Amino acid sequence: MGSSSRRPTLADVAAKAGTSTAVVSYVVNNGPRAVAPATRERVEKAIEELGYRRNPIAGALSAGRSNLVGLIVPDTANGFFGELSRCFEAEGRKRGFLTMLGNTGYDGEISAHYISGFSDLRARGIFTMSVAQGDEIPADVPFVFIHSVPEGVTAPSVRFDDHAGAKLAVEHLIGHGFTDILCLAGTHAGDPASLRVQGWEQAMTEAGLPTEGRVYRSSFDRVQVEADVREILEGGDWPEAIFATTDEQALAVLRAAAAVGARIPEDLALVGFDGIREALLGRVRLTTVRVPMERLAERAFDMLEEIGTASQAGGDAPGPQGAHLVFAGELVVGETCGCPIPEAAAS
């Protein structure tokens, strides 16, 4: 090959071994036809000398299958989606899959573009964290919703109990005696944050506390949230506490509060949701609802394999179609809600 950087092909190996590309393919793929020992030896020697590497994706596609899985997320720049994506990539590696990642920016058309592209590549399955409509789900690729589930779809899903987790967090604030608790929400209808708003509302209503005018909608982008919250705080009418529907938003509240001189939790208590590393291990540790990301990824891949097994058994075989797994979160007490921090945790 000299100094050329071109990747050697089956044709190059065949020419060097003095045989056909079909025979080389039989050697590389160990079938489907037998190859005479002497011919196999020549082909293997040519492969070694040329440094030929089999393309596993091309081989899988030609066989009508693939070791690829598609993962569609709103934005990996967001700490939560970045960490959850890493959990899926790690779980996929354990199972011999390559994970293809697509960021949608909360755009339905981009989500549909990735779904179509992954389907064309004959992916083993597609996971989506973005809200996609039911008619976008390909019929020929196993499909699992994660984190958010559009209404009315029958595809299986694995998600967190956002409503119950939010209710738990707000009840914790109410337990501190706070009665004016602002809910910092997102702008997207039907997403998990909307369920968290409902959990906030239920906790407040059950405690006889007002909710009207106490939901503030902002972005999930930390920079934008900081600007929005700073504007609220600069008005001087501070709530007693804020329940942020994501840790990204809660971390933005910390920065906005510091900018206007509001002390947390002395002047403004704060609770988040997700349990990302920065929230749990940062300089100021958030009180937040931690969700089991690794467990969700593990069960999502289990569900994908169950779909594949059911499909191989025949169209009438029972499978997880319509199955929905829900994981509960855990309240982790940090330094932002007003609880005394045990010495062991503070050290």
pLDDT digits (tens, 9 = 90+) for 72-98: 999 999 999 999 999 999 999 999 899
Question: What is the structure's pLDDT at 347?
Answer: 43
Give the pLDDT band (50/70/90) at residue 7.
Answer: confident
Q: What is the per-residue pLDDT across 32-52, written as a single tens digit (0 to 9) for each?
A: 778 899 999 999 999 888 888
> Residue 64 carries which side chain, given as an amino acid letter?
G
Contact (CB, 8 A) for 144 and 304: yes
Question: What is the structure's pLDDT at 344?
Answer: 46
**Does 175 have pLDDT greater than 60?**
yes
Contact (CB, 8 A) for 253 and 184: yes
Q: Mean pLDDT score of the chain, rounded to an integer?
A: 85
98 contact partners, CB below 8 Å, separation of at least 6: 57, 67, 68, 69, 92
Q: Using the 8-state DSSP alphabet, how is residue 259 labeled?
A: H
Q: Which of 196, 194, 208 is nearest to 170 (CA)?
A: 196
**Does 166 have pLDDT greater than 50?**
yes
Q: What value does the mean pLDDT take over residues 144-167? A: 87
Domains present along the chain, CATH in parentheses: 68-160+293-327 (3.40.50.2300), 162-291+331-337 (3.40.50.2300)
Looking only at the bridges linking them, the beta strands covering 241-244 and 269-274 are parallel
Q: What value does the mean pLDDT take over residues 156-172? A: 95
Cα distance between residue 343 and residue 235, in whole Å:
36
Cα distance between residue 205 and residue 212, in whole Å:
10
Determine how many CB atoms are found less than 10 A away from the CB of residue 285: 18
Q: What value does the mean pLDDT take over residues 2-13? A: 69
Question: What is the structure's pLDDT at 185?
Answer: 93
Angle formed by the axes of helices 222-234 and 247-260, to 10°?
A: 40
For the chain, give the percent of residues with pLDDT over 90: 53
Give the pLDDT band (50/70/90) at residue 168.
Answer: very high
Question: What is the structure's pLDDT at 86?
Answer: 96
Cα distance between residue 285 and residue 132, in whole Å:
34
**Does 14 have pLDDT greater than 80?**
yes
Question: What is the structure's pLDDT at 346?
Answer: 47
Compare 55 and 38 and report the one with higher pLDDT: 38
Question: What is the structure's pLDDT at 122?
Answer: 83
Give the pLDDT band (50/70/90) at residue 57.
Answer: low
Looking only at the bridges linking them, the beta strands covering 125-128 and 143-146 are parallel
Q: What value does the mean pLDDT take over residues 269-282? A: 94
Contact (CB, 8 A) for 161 and 326: yes
Look up the pTM and report it.
0.78
For the chain, give the percent of residues with pLDDT over 70: 85
Helices (H) and strands (E) in the chain, counts: 13, 12
Question: What is the structure's pLDDT at 270?
Answer: 97
| CA 6-10-12 angle, 5° bins | 60
Give the pLDDT band (50/70/90) at residue 343.
Answer: low
Question: What is the structure's pLDDT at 321?
Answer: 53
Q: What is the per-residue pLDDT across 100-145, written as a single tens digit (0 to 9) for each?
A: 999 998 888 888 889 888 888 888 899 998 654 544 677 778 889 9
